[in-house]
Amino acid sequence: MEEEDNQQGVDGLNYSDKGTPLVALKSHSKIVKLLVERGARLILRTEAGWTPVHFAAESGQLGVLRTLHSLHAPMDAPDLYGDVPRRIAEIYGHKACVKFLEIMMPNRNVSSFRSICSFIIFSSQIRRTAEHEEGHFLDEGKPRQGIPEINAATGKKFFEGDIIMLLDRNALRNDAYRWKLPIPYKMGASIGLNTKGVIFQAFEMFRLKSCIDFKPYEGEKSYLQFEKLDGCWSYVGNLQTGQVVSIGSRCEYKDIVEHEVLHALGFYHEQSRTDRDDYVKIWWNQIIDGQAYNFNKYNDSFISDLYTPYDYESVMHYGPYSFSKNNSIPSITTKIPEFNNVIGQSQDMSKIDVERLNRMYHCASSLTLLDQCLFESINICGMVQNGRDDADWKHTLTTSRDNNNNCLEKDYVMSFDTTKGLSGETAILESRILYPRRNEKCLQFYYKFDGSPKDELIVWLKTDDGTGNVRKSMKLTSIHHDGEKQWNFANIPFNSRTKFRYVFHGLKGDPQNSKGGIHIDDITLTEMQCPTSVWQIRNFTSILKSSSKGDYLSSPIFYNSEGYCFVLSLYPRGPAKSNGDYVGMMFSLCSSQNDGALEWPAGNRQVTLTIVDQDPDITQRMSASRSFVTDPNQRYNGKPFWDKADITGAADPFYNIHVGQRWGWRYILPHSELRRRNFLKNGNLIILANFEIIHDPGSVL
């Protein structure tokens, strides 16, 4: 009977909030050890997201913190408001605890730690939109217009809808029209802040997917000058002098900038290919009078397909209603009907777009992709097993299954078996030595725990120690078992200007109670800015089935690098007053303890929301992104729209804080694209969110 009572106490400890036995973990080291021996799980949290480490940090119990660390408790897990235990110790003035926690999580400040975490939300948190709280939208709740439609509204006439055509231009065949790299650019005075940020996003995609680079103008003869003029348009090829690329009103999207820059690099439209009639049908009787010339095709002496197949996904392909007399009757249809809703809907450069670009400019590799490993090959991308550890990571074929035990996919991963041996044994997997060009790095990968709750994955950075040897170590982060046994997404920023390796350090927690281990897959390392916030939504496939128009999911609370608090609202089937099947998303500021130290209104910062195409190869992803800049002069009900949330918004019982007005998009991604590409991986959706001051990441070359 006594044992049964003790077990009830342990269960109460596991699931209770403040004021219940969970608080006992901050009182005495011996009690902590006893409770853990009786089965208490240190990974569980209160409703506010507090762990035992938060409670010990709050009360200044250094001995308890040491004990919790020895028991492999998560020392750096943030609560619902983004506060890690070290921050709690700082608030309550416990300097010894702060110093100890700094040692446990070196080189990690509060804001940078938040960018590492993948936050999870479940279908039980679906909320219903009240009519008065729907928000303010930047779109009309339908697919945005294509370039021909945008330009038609200006009254200007362009060749093929968006080209300023000079006679005898032959940019695809004549090397004289190629650019020398990096390409100089100017931002004209007409370019607004959001457009500038979107252009920088497009530049980063060119650097990631090719060897094309851009640099600020320094007096060169040839350069691109970006302006906000009437419509979206460009010249084809390098004119050997300064030339304008217009990113006008309604053109401020990454894929449109890519489209116009590809013209400047020497490319025509996909439907202009010599062989296009084998793949699409032009309905000449549906074309607006006088616009048929926009559907001319060229012979092989004028353009080249660069030995690539016709590409329905190309960012250079126009949509089915381009130049159509009737916006419900197409002017172009595809010979393969499944692609009728694909042409003209590209979110990014396609795989074949990138292949052509790299062939034209003789690109051997990406400028910013340092390393990528999908583990499909037995050589595991040159990664190295450390000979001084206790075990090896194993190259393993795994099968992912959904909640109904249906097979989703099979692929190879690296696994560390934690079912045998002793607690504390390790397996270390190191990357090959890498040589950086930029300082900023972003390491992303998928991981899963299905062993003991005490298992741990530690990620290290090893750099040149000044003697040419890569052996100076720095801990980047520790990742702990979350109890879910599902794949998660890690997002780890770090800096290095010297040669380095990144290291995965698996740690066995309790082999006797392990039925699996630690698994990693699909590693990507880029020299790009990591997103500051990541929202992983599990079981999104099930959420789509159970949600209705107007239902939405509330994100965890995020903080940007300056300390501004914000939240997202994602509409799986679009807002209440909308048509069609697509995903919408909104952004809101929220109140926090940081508000008194921040600038208000929070203007001139760019919000970028991205639904991630989870293709294992980052260079083939076609993620859906939307951006806007907060206007410091924008007003709502006589108040600055982007002022503190407790001034402009209302108390939200879900968060127990004030949440400001919503601002965003009804239509970001149609459900057909969710399923056709890799937006859903193991049924999960990933959202990346940035709310930052715009800056030029700089050229690589």
How do beta strands 470-480 and 517-526 pair?
A: unpaired
Count of CA atoms in the C-beta half-sphere (13 A) of 99: 4
User: Cα–Cα distances in Å, from 433 out to 394, 466, 548?
Assistant: 21, 15, 50
Determine the distance from the C-alpha atom of residue 340 to the mean position of all C-alpha atoms in its chain, rounded to a whole number: 28
Cβ atoms of 9 and 40 within 8 Å: the answer is no
Cβ atoms of 690 and 531 within 8 Å: the answer is yes
Cβ atoms of 584 and 575 within 8 Å: the answer is yes
SS3 676: helix
For tokens 């004549």, name the residue.
Answer: 174
- Backbone dihedral angles phi then psi of residue 577, each to the nearest 5 degrees: -95, 70
User: Cα–Cα distances in Å, from 642 out to 49, 129, 605, 647?
Assistant: 28, 22, 10, 10
Q: Supply 347's token pair.
A: 């979110």
Cα–Cα distance for residue pair 25/466, rounded to 1 Å: 44
Cα–Cα distance for residue pair 78/557, rounded to 1 Å: 11
| Cβ neighbours of 296 (radius 10 Å) | 12
Cβ atoms of 360 and 264 within 8 Å: the answer is no
Is residue 3 annotated as part of the catalytic site, yes or no?
Answer: no
Q: What share of the chain is helix, strand, coil (3-state, %, to 5)?
A: 25, 30, 50
Cα–Cα distance for residue pair 398/408, rounded to 1 Å: 11
Residue 384, strand partner residues: 430
Cα–Cα distance for residue pair 694/701, rounded to 1 Å: 21
Do the annotations mark residue 263 as ligand-binding? yes
Query: Residues 697, 700, 701, CA angle at the centre, nearest 5°?
Result: 145
Count of CA atoms in the C-beta half-sphere (13 A) of 313: 17
Q: How many residues does the chain have?
A: 701
Cis peptide before 85 (omega within 30 of 0): no
| Cβ neighbours of 277 (radius 10 Å) | 12
Cα–Cα distance for residue pair 406/429, rounded to 1 Å: 31
Do the annotations mark residue 671 as ligand-binding? no
User: Cα–Cα distances in Å, from 230 out to 129, 194, 701?
Assistant: 38, 17, 33
Cα–Cα distance for residue pair 156/142, rounded to 1 Å: 25
Determine the distance from the C-alpha atom of residue 280 to the mean position of all C-alpha atoms in its chain, rounded to a whole number: 34
| Cβ neighbours of 363 (radius 10 Å) | 17
Tell me the DSSP string of 219-284: S-SSEEEEE--SSEEEESS--SSEEEEEE-TT--SHHHHHHHHHHHHT---GGGSTTGGGTEEE-G
Query: Residues 200, 206, 212, CA angle at the centre, nearest 5°?
Result: 110
Do the annotations mark residue 269 as ligand-binding? yes
Identified catalytic residue from 90, 149, 258, 260:
260
Of 472, 224, 501, 485, residue with least CA distance to 371: 501
- Backbone dihedral angles phi then psi of residue 440, each to the nearest 5 degrees: -75, 135
Please enumerate, by residue number, every residue annotated as part of a binding site for Zn(2+).
Answer: 259, 263, 269
Annotated binding site: 259, 263, 269
Report, as residue numbers or ranges, the catalytic residues.
260
